[in-house]
Amino acid sequence: MGNTTAAIGKGFAIASAALTALALFAAFMQQAKIDTINIAHPQVMAGLLVGGMLPFVFSALAMNAVGRAAMSMIQEVRRQFSSIPELKAALEVMRKYNSDMSKASPEDLATFEAASGKAEYSKCVEISTQASIKEMVAPGLLAIIVPVAVGFLGGAEMLGGLLAGVTTSGVLMAIFQANAGGAWDNAKKMFEEGVDINGQKYYKGSDPHKAAVVGDTVGDPFKDTSGPSLNILLKLMSVVALVIAPTLASQSSDKDETSQLQLPAIEQPASLPTATEAEVLPAAALSLPAAEEEAADDRPAVTSSAEALVSTPTQLAAAPLASRQDGSLE
């Protein structure tokens, strides 16, 4: 009942993270001065693929961190059982009665109770605390560095594709991990009351129960570590993108202004004749000799008329003189 209730509550948390990421994504587009994001653009598609991959990488880092912290804890517990005499004697008593202390003798019960309070619990708490801080450095840097690198190297649109990919993939992955982890944990706990498999009852300590315990070693990190941490991944990446959005917008505007700068005007050579002109020019060239011949034919006529105009006044002026000469001669 507890795991089912927790899974429902985590579902609400995941939905809240998704809505927050969408709101931050809209704010990012406004601050980066992006109207639309074309997924057919190669850089945007690359951002989508990288964003869809990040929740898987983040979950793997978180689960490996849990495994390393758990192994450190196991080694510390083994050290204490081997180095503290009271704990070592109590362990022998438990092995003697197969952990069923109701069958133990009074002497063995006294030995078992003598180990109470001898364990160094602070060592285990220290291991857990240090691991929770150190092991989450890499996933935290992943959530911060990737948006910054993608934004400044690929541009605002590629960063928008990254946010879309990580939001879509992260929400689905978080829902899957919250429900699958709870199911594995419930499967392990069902063996406390007995599980009927093919008409046979199996209880704690049986082979099916051991298999369920192995499954729960994956289910617990699913529902308690990587699943809830994906909510933080979505919101943190969106916040980082929103912080650097004004810088990306200014860089994009500077690039646009640089590309719009024009070189000084250079006189272009005369354009080559078009096809129509190329067809007209040979015809005009061929008709040029005929025109010259016609002009040559007209030229004498023009000269004769000019001479007539020039000679007429002379004749008019010479006529009285000739008449006088004739009179005088007469």
At residue 98, φ and ψ (nearest 5 deg) are 55, 45
Q: Where are the domains of the chain?
A: 2-84+119-251, 288-330
pLDDT digits (tens, 9 = 90+) for 226-238: 889 999 999 999 9
Give the DSSP letter string of 215-238. Answer: HHHHHHHIIIIIHHHHHHHHHHHH
pLDDT band, very low/low/confident/very high, at 255 (cuts 50, 70, 90): low
pLDDT digits (tens, 9 = 90+) for 181-198: 888 888 888 888 888 888
Dihedral class, residue 205 (left if φ above 0, else alpha if ψ from -120 to 50, else beta): left
Q: Which of 7-11, 116-120, 170-174, 199-203 has the highest mean pLDDT?
A: 170-174
Beta strand segments in 121-270, E? 195-197, 200-202
Q: Which of 146-150, 192-196, 199-203 has the highest mean pLDDT?
A: 146-150
pLDDT band, very low/low/confident/very high, at 258 (cuts 50, 70, 90): low
Are the C-beta atoms of residues 201 and 195 closer than 8 Å to each other?
Answer: yes
Beta strand segments in 54-204, E? 195-197, 200-202
- Whole-Å CA distances, 209 to 33, 183, 206, 214, 297: 57, 14, 5, 9, 124
What is the CB neighbour count within 10 angstroms for residue 210?
13
pLDDT digits (tens, 9 = 90+) for 278-311: 454 455 554 555 545 555 555 544 444 444 444 4
What lies within 8 Å, CB to CB, of 216 at 6+ separation is: 184, 185, 187, 188
